[in-house]
Structure 1
Amino acid sequence: MRKTRKCAFCGKEFTCNSGSQKYCSEHCAEAAKAQRKKKQQDFIKAVEPAIDIASQEYLTFSKAAILMGCTRQYVYKLVNEGKLTASRISSRMAFIRKTDIEQMLAGNPYHRVLPGSSTNKASKKSSTPSSSLSSEKGNNHGVESALKFSEPLEYISGEDVMAIYKVKKSWLYASAKRNDIPMCKIAGKNYYSRKHMDELFGVTAEIEALTEWLTTKGAETLYSTTKESLRTQAYRRHIPTKREYGKTYYSKKHLDELFRPDLKASDAYCTTAEAAEKYGMTRSNICVIIKKEKITKIKVGVQNLIVKEELEKVMAERLAQFGSYRVQ
């Protein structure tokens, strides 16, 4: 009785004629062979740049990015900041020495820095030997963190941290571990250094003085914007933000200065779209007229507000002179 197998290429069941048959037809066998050959060629294409780089001392920015495992733009950033040395040969050609990359990496060893701390290697070496702490294995992390600081620290419980700084429990644990916040365990509860929590979660005096805050949804509704645009504007214009219980809040005062809802609600101004609809023109034509006639406009967010009085006066003159509003 002949055995049935699944084709190694298409997955269909077939009756095999011999014990070594893997494919249901010659077509599948040829297709599988072509696929193996393509994988080999792709592997060679991927390895060739690395092999070439290994034998070169002077690298272009693209090859330096491949060697470092980053993007070419990041290599340009390192050069502009003076962290990496590059030599310009012409207006369109520059090279980086492999030895300069190795020197840059050797001169910047990785080390974790606590927020607001200025500990160095000498202070770490002078800490208490780990043998004296072996009896308290459960508290090693908190005790070792506390030994890095010579000054006495004030500790508060995790519940107090969540109440004071308005953070979630999961966010508290993750942030404390990530930033190596000094902590200790008493009666099964975690206590954290108040000084370091102030530096990590505390707000500045400027932000603390603000009284009106808007959630993301509230800002989207009030200013007719999107979440992505709101985040971009807040980043570019340095709008104060704060985070409470996993939600982001934006300063209403600064958003009002950016989006100017008072001007939008005023009858003295109109947008480009409103002017185009009123005079039966395109937005491009309105923009050309504004630029040509030097009509006053105010930039509000991503929109331009036009002074209605000046626009109506210009449009009336164009109608009397040319018989239409169109751009001549």
Structure 2
Amino acid sequence: MRKTRKCAFCGKEFTCNSGSQRYCSEHCAEAAKAQRKKKQQDFLKAVQPVIDIASQEYLTFSKAAILMGCSRQYVYKLVNEGKLPASRISSRMAFVRKADIEKMLAGNPYHRVLPGTPTNKPCKTSSSLSSRKDKNQIDESPMRLVEPLEYISGEDVMATYKVKKSWLYVSAKRNNIPVCKIAGKNYYSRKHMDALFGVTAEIEALTEWLTTDEAETLYSTTKESLRTQAYRRHIPTKREYGKTYYSKIHLDEIYHPDLKASDDYYTTAEAARKYGMTKSNICVIVKTNNLTKVKVGVQNLIVKEELDRIMASRLAQFGAYRLQ
């Protein structure tokens, strides 16, 4: 009597002709073979970058992220905070040494400390294990206790630091904030919350803040430009209830709304409309005659007096040429 089996690819039952038959048809056998080959190719594609990185000493940020198993943005964050040294070769190229990554990881071992428990002792190496004390001998070294923490409720955290409930949960989990649960409510360590959500004295001294939409309207810019300027020029920002606020004083120093409102300057578009030219023509005239140009955000401001003088001389030359 012939045996019935389940196909290893499609799962259908079939009557096998031999004891080694695993597939119900040649089609399933070929499909399973193609699937195995694709898995091997995918594995090689995933492993090849790691093999290449193993033989390199200087890594780009992308390769450093692959080596550390994190995102490229997190590598930028480590470099920006000064935790990981990096060398800039040009405006678009920077490298990280593999030795610096290993040094950073070796200098920051993971020690998990729970509230109210003694600090964990570092793991013993093989050399220390060989010189282990007798089991019957009592270790008389004093036990150092962790400083007791002060806890506040989740509602107090949201009211004090102006954060949303979802952001509170995510941040507490991501940063390993000590938390305890009492009567169904979460209580968080005030000390750790101050370090995570607290503001500096510089930010507390600022009184004028703009939301992203307000800054876009006031300075005629974009969200991407605001984020870029805040990152590059270290503009103070704060986040309240899921909204990002930018310091108005610092943005005024970059976008100069007083210059844009002044009658002493043209924008490129205004000059092009006045003289019936394209913006490219105006840019060429400004560059050729070395006119004063002030960059305000994404716009260039041109001194009216200088541009009017140059255009008047050009019109005079054009008129003399026509008379000839």
Q: How far has the Cα of 1:21 moved from its partner?
A: 7.0
Q: What SS does structure 2 have at the residue aligned with 1:181?
A: coil
In 1, distance between residues paired with 2:38 and 2:100?
A: 30
Q: Contact 1:220/1:227 (CA < 8 Å) preserved in 2?
A: yes
Superposed counterparts of 1:84-99, under 5 Å: none
**TM-score, normalising length from structure 2?**
0.61
1:261 is the counterpart of 2:257: yes
1:221 is the counterpart of 2:217: yes
Q: What SS does structure 1 have at the residue aligned with 2:238?
A: strand
In 2, distance between residues paired with 1:262 and 1:102?
A: 47
Count of residues paired in the alignment: 258
1:241 is the counterpart of 2:237: yes
Q: How far has the Cα of 1:57 moved from its partner?
A: 8.2
Equivalent residue letter for 2:267: T
1:228-247 deviation digits (Å, cap 9, x = unpaired): 22212221221111111111
> Match for residue 18 of structure 2?
none
> Match for residue 196 of structure 1?
192
1:131-186 deviation digits (Å, cap 9, x = unpaired): xxxxxxxxxxxxxxxx9973343322222111111111222222222222233334
Q: What SS does structure 1 have at the residue aligned with 2:291?
A: coil
> Match for residue 252 of structure 1?
248
Q: How far has the Cα of 1:315 moved from its partner?
A: 0.9
Structure-2 change in CA distance of 1:189 and 1:229 (3 Å): same
Equivalent residue letter for 2:213: K
Q: 1:172 aligns with which of 163, 168, 172?
A: 168
Equivalent residue letter for 1:239: I
> Match for residue 111 of structure 1?
110
> Match for residue 146 of structure 2?
150
In 2, distance between residues paired with 1:82 and 1:167?
A: 27
Equivalent residue letter for 1:293: N
In 1, distance between residues paired with 2:243 and 2:312?
A: 51
**TM-score, normalising length from structure 1?**
0.61
What is the root-mean-square deviation of aligned Cα atoms in Å? 4.8
Structure-2 change in CA distance of 1:224 and 1:59 (3 Å): closer
1:286-314 deviation digits (Å, cap 9, x = unpaired): 22221222211111112111111111011
1:244-287 deviation digits (Å, cap 9, x = unpaired): 11111111222222211221111111111221222122222222
Structure-2 change in CA distance of 1:49 and 1:207 (3 Å): closer
Q: What SS does structure 2 have at the residue aligned with 1:156?
A: strand
Structure 2: state its 5+ residue gaps.
1-8, 10-23, 86-96, 123-142
Structure-2 change in CA distance of 1:39 and 1:311 (3 Å): farther
Q: Contact 1:53/1:59 (CA < 8 Å) preserved in 2?
A: no
Q: How far has the Cα of 1:112 moved from its partner?
A: 6.8
Equivalent residue letter for 1:244: E
Identity among equivalent pairs (%): 60
> Match for residue 44 of structure 2?
47
Structure 1: state its 5+ residue gaps.
1-7, 9-19, 24-28, 85-95, 115-121, 127-146
Structure-2 change in CA distance of 1:57 and 1:155 (3 Å): closer
